[in-house]
Structure 1
């Protein structure tokens, strides 16, 4: 479906922490000023598809007035270097002058989404590809259940999830008014929660928690809360964000890879496809430090097994592709293919991860891929 199976994801969170401090990971990682060299570098590595983001709070300086100066250099750099980008329109952050709980938030975001799509098409001549709202499920939990980030509420996760679905649906409708062939990627955490050896009530609680990962997609498709306006046609590409700590015991520790309670990733991919029948993208995955190549080897192997079983997985996004500081401190996490910028603004390539990616690409030789990968039926396609 895309020009490369492996994708690059640039961390673009722009939320306020619970203490009120605004984060801007595009700036703190250096990507906003190094977009040209970053896109050239990932292109040289064979990554022709990426995830990147707009910073709504910098762009909409007043209601309905857009300053694109923070976005245009990145948009133009990606286009010049032949990298096709899914642009996150809202990655946890929004302008300070609007209330996220209000109906006006939904309307205003829809207009912003339309303006962004129009600009992308005018600048590049290409069909816009966007992720309307990043990680609705996680944002609802972190922002409105435990108050770790904006809007820093407690006990209102269900309410925020519904509001973010309204926002996403408004963005889809607005972007399709600009270009009916626009592509949409959603990125939701893929999790497994195990009840361990607890009583039946504990097991049921664990299963309910596990099933909660599907609530946002169920709302987007109208399977749940149909009054929000979701339909199956609102879901295009199903994104699954998957990391080493995405499986745990209810109220307990992380389940280690290889443990009998660890759910194979291929099974999680198959469950999502059975549930929604849409093409899948591993929209985020990665590990820290020396675990990076081994983790990619595991994820890619599981994806290949899923593909061999008839599951249309269209790509794996290494996320973040460039090292960046954490949300709570200034420590730069060694997470990606590209290091933090050096004194001259240059980044080094983490060789072991690049080598593993190349090995995986070699295993996916074109003739072999054509033989093993299923064709996506016409009814599962949106756009050309």
Structure 2
């Protein structure tokens, strides 16, 4: 029996694995998949998701490692993940550029767009031959944040340190993402695109009313510009359209609500700050602007706050559904812990913590977080463990709507 309001994904809850491959500010190429030992533990990691009733995982195909130049590609780095996907029936949402591009690529040259499109076409052919589909892709992860990291803060290549470079870098990334999506669909016409960027709220410091205009511009204009380009609302010469934007992936972390700083990253607002707004309001801004299917593309709390964070996010998401938003899923990211880019310390934000044991990183589920996930799966009438064919019983979003109406939560600005 088909779902009365079929979801895009086979499960409402998604997850994923940190897969950054940026050139860090010290000049070293980072590989977060290696740092978390995800390749070695791929089958274990995917079995963990299967046992939790999660049938979709954001997974990276590292452009810097796959692209050998001259139109040659080597996808051996994802072989363990492909094997794990086939054995667990967990389906990937492929992330094709997670803050990293090849050493000899220049994002400010026209060739960057063409090279990325060629790579995306090669990826589409490879995964078509390896997996049955359906197929979901994020061509370039968090374009807005990537533009800050690489264009204004100098954290990652191309190491820009001013607003003008950030703006140029953002346009270049959007142009490449559009070309990449088009190249994928030449191979896989039914492929869906999920373009993720952070939801943010920026306010002026209480003693700096002169910065209110700049803070508001970043909140209501700048934070949406990448999505605007992808859907053709801005820079239409790049070829964006609603079909390219396709699915809006709205990432949500506590540090996305910030106090404005003229130089460097803004300062995260503490819970209870007068500047904090409910997540429901942030979601509504994106929904009313684009009216495209939406997912919360990444979200997680930290440490012992993980179950409380999930509870808050779910209540806000249900409030957004009651306001008419077409919400198709929530991605609990990451599935296993990841290190802080700057300090190397474990963030304790995953479904599983990573614990060193005999030279390996053991996966240890954070039990209270898992318990909260189980509670919400039952509230939404969702599976808690995958059967042999996760696609045999698709998500009926009417179940989600019914749960939202029954629970009837109110947006709450005092998240914890």
Residue pair 2:196, 2:251 contacting (<8 A) in 1 also: yes
Number of aligned residue pairs: give it: 374
Give, in whole Å, the separation in 1 of the partners of 2:191 and 2:272: 40
Paired residue for 1:179?
188
- Residue 288 (str. 1) matches residue 302 (str. 2): yes
Name the CA distance, whole Å, in 1 between partners of 2:211 and 2:361: 52
Cα distance in structure 2, aligned partners of 1:137 and 1:214: 8
- Of residues 300-309 and 74-83 in structure 1, the stretch that sits farther from structure 2 once superposed is 74-83
Task: Choose from 258, 270, 281 the match for 1:267.
Answer: 281
Provide the residue aligned with 1:72 in structure 2.
79
2:321 is equivalent to residue 307 of structure 1? yes
Partner of 1:377: none
Change in Cα spacing, 1:163 to 1:351, as seen in structure 2 (3 Å) is same
Question: Are residues 1:220 and 2:230 paired?
Answer: yes
Q: For residues 63 and 329 of structure 1, do their structure 2 counterparts lie closer, same or farther at Cα, with a shift above 3 Å needed? A: farther
Distance 1:363 1:373, change over 3 A: closer
Measured after TM superposition, the shift of residue 98 of structure 1 is 2.1
Alpha-carbon shift at residue 329 of structure 1 (Å) = 2.9
Q: CA deviation at 1:237?
A: 0.8
Q: CA deviation at 1:146?
A: 1.6
Say whether the 8 Å CA contact 1:308–1:372 is kept in structure 2.
Answer: no
Secondary structure of the equivalent of 2:288? helix
Spell out structure 1 runs of 4+ moving beyond 6 A: none
Counterpart CA distance in 1 for 2:341 and 2:401 is 41
Partner SS state of residue 325, structure 1: coil
Question: In structure 1, what is the Cα distance between the partners aligned to 2:50 and 2:108?
Answer: 40
Whole-Å separation in 1 of the counterparts to 2:401 and 2:344: 45
Matched, 1:361 2:382: no
Unaligned runs of 5+ in 1: 375-384
Partner of 1:332: helix, strand, or coil? coil
- Asked if 1:298 corresponds to 2:292, the answer is no
Aligned-residue CA RMSD (Å): 1.8
Q: Deviations over 1:208-241 (max 9, x none)?
A: 1112110100111111112222122211110111
> Which piece of structure 1 moves more, 243-252 or 163-172?
243-252
Cα separation, 2, equivalents of 1:142 and 1:253: 15
Q: CA deviation at 1:345?
A: 5.6
Q: Which runs of 5+ in 2 are unaligned?
A: 1-6, 383-397, 406-416
From 176, 195, 214, the equivalent of 1:167 is 176
2:337 paired with 1:323? yes
CA-to-aligned-CA distance 1:37-66 (integer Å, 9 cap, x gap): 110111101111110101111111232111
8 Å CA contact 1:132, 1:184 repeated in 2 = yes
Mapped contact 1:105–1:167 kept (Cα < 8 A) = yes
TM-score calculated relative to the size of structure 1: 0.93
* 2:134 is equivalent to residue 114 of structure 1: no
- Please state how far the C-alpha of 1:371 moved relative to its aligned partner: 3.1
Aligned counterparts of 2:121 and 2:55: Cα–Cα separation in 1: 25
